[in-house]
């Protein structure tokens, strides 16, 4: 068994309020660490803090430090945790489930989070540390080819189509309590990260209140003593 004598350290994207953690990818790992019953010390990180994670060889969070090991990228971190701490509760539930989780991870990265950004990205700015605001506006204008306000225009008219793209998730959650089945597993944390991101920085209603996905989101917010619910949000 691998053991840690000290807590894992995690660089976690934060707003002007250091308690406001809003990265969907960091939330995947916060939830995964709690699932693994691993203690964590989170370090609030802003876009302007890129030098602080230079030792990870790239410039995005989440980054974790576990003793002298440094791992970046949420998928790589989840796999590291599963393989390094096999005697803790399994994140995936076996090799076949891990393989399938990769599909859900890619769906969430593209369909869910790509879609979500077109509703909430403009709301992020008001919560950012002042040092980050201009960087965020400029980097996203370059990524999306338009301003944040243009990206998020007409969202009331578009949200119905977005909700339709969540149908695979909705159908699944009509039949089982979690993507993991009767209990949550890493696929739940993958998808929940996107909703927690939105909830943390925007009051826009991505879901209708009677959507089975909304009921599942409440169950996710309840996990681990309300870990995600305690985060500042709407």
List residues near a copy of itself by CB under 8 A.
Answer: 90, 92-104, 106-107, 109-111, 167-169, 171-172, 175-176, 178-181, 185, 187
Question: Given the complex with a copy of itself, which of 109 and 123 has the nearer CB atom?
Answer: 109
CB of 98: closest distance to a copy of itself in angstroms? 7
| Chain centre to alpha carbon of residue 113 | 9
Question: Given the complex with a copy of itself, which of 115 and 233 has the nearer CB atom?
Answer: 115
CA distances from 227 to 31, 70, 146, 191, 231 (A): 8, 24, 35, 16, 7
CB of 170: closest distance to a copy of itself in angstroms? 8
CB of 97: closest distance to a copy of itself in angstroms? 4
Question: Given the complex with a copy of itself, which of 98 and 127 has the nearer CB atom?
Answer: 98
Structure token digits, residue 210:
């009677």
CB of 205: closest distance to a copy of itself in angstroms? 23
- Rounded-to-integer distance, Cα 35 and Cα 6, Å: 18
Question: Given the complex with a copy of itself, which of 135 and 162 has the nearer CB atom?
Answer: 162
- Could you count the other beta carbons within 10 Å of the beta carbon of residue 2? 11
Question: Given the complex with a copy of itself, which of 68 and 95 has the nearer CB atom?
Answer: 95
CB of 187: closest distance to a copy of itself in angstroms? 6
CA angle 4, 10, 16 (to 5 degrees): 150
The answer to whether the peptide bond before residue 62 is cis (omega within 30 degrees of 0) is yes
Which H or E element spans position 189? helix 186-201
């Amino acid at each position: 068994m691998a053991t840690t004598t000290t807590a894992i350290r995690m660089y976690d994207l934060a707003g002007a309020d250091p308690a406001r953690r809003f990265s969907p990818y960091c939330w995947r790992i916060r939830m995964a660490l709690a699932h693994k019953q691993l203690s964590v010390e989170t370090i609030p990180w802003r876009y302007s803090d890129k030098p602080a994670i230079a030792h990870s060889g790239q410039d995005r969070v989440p980054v974790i430090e576990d003793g002298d090991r440094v791992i970046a990228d949420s998928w790589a971190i989840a796999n590291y945790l599963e393989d390094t701490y096999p005697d803790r509760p399994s994140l995936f539930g076996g090799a076949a489930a891990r393989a399938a989780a990769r599909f859900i991870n890619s769906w969430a990265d593209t369909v869910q989070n790509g879609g979500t950004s077109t509703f909430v990205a403009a709301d992020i700015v008001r919560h950012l540390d002042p040092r980050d605001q201009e960087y965020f506006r400029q980097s996203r204008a370059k990524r999306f080819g338009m301003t944040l306000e243009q990206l998020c225009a007409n969202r009331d008219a578009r949200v119905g189509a977005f909700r339709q793209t969540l149908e695979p998730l909705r159908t699944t959650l009509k039949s089982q309590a979690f993507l993991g089945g009767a209990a949550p597993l890493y696929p739940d944390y993958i998808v929940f990260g996107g909703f927690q991101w939105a909830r943390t920085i925007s009051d826009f209603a991505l879901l209708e209140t009677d959507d089975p996905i909304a009921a599942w989101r409440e169950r996710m917010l309840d996990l681990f003593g309300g870990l995600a619910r305690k985060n500042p949000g709407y």
